[in-house]
Amino acid sequence: MSERTPSFKDVFIKGAVIYNPVLIQLVGLCPVVAASTTLKGAVMLSAAMCAELIVTCVIASALLKKIPRWIRVALYLLIGLALICPALWYIETQTLVNLSLGMKIYLPLIAINSVTAVHCEQVAVKNNVKLAFYDAAAVSIGASAVFILVGILRELLGSSSLGGIHLDLPIAFKGMLLPFGCLVILGFLAAGLKAFLAWAYPETENESDPVERQRKTPSAEENVTEVELFDEFWNVSEEPEEVSMDVSIPEPEPEKEKKPEDIRLETAADIDEFFKSLGIDLNEKGDKR
Degrees, nearest 5: CA angle 90-91-94 = 60
How far the first Cα of the chain sits from its last, in Å, is 125
Report residue 81 CA to chain centroid gap: 16
**pLDDT confidence of 258, banded at 50, 70, 90?**
low
Rounded Cα distance, 11 and 128, in Å? 14
Average pLDDT value for the chain: 77
Report residue 213 CA to chain centroid gap: 22
| Burial (CB count within 10 angstroms: exposed 0-12, middle 13-18, buried 19+), residue 6 | middle
**pLDDT confidence of 289, banded at 50, 70, 90?**
very low
DSSP SS3 for 161: strand
pLDDT of residue 59: 94
What is the per-residue burial (b if ≥16 Cβ within 10 Å, else e) of 111-132? bbbbbbbbbbbbbbbbbeeebb
**Complete DSSP assignment for 102-138:** HHHHHHHHGGG-HHHHHHHHHTGGGS-HHHHHHHHHH
pLDDT at 158 over 80: yes
Rounded Cα distance, 117 and 57, in Å? 9
Rounded Cα distance, 99 and 267, in Å? 79
**pLDDT confidence of 232, banded at 50, 70, 90?**
very low
pLDDT at 17 over 60: yes
pLDDT of residue 77: 87
pLDDT of residue 96: 63
Domain ranges of the chain: 8-234
Measured torsion, CA atoms of residues 141, 146, 147, 150, in degrees rounded to the nearest 10: 160
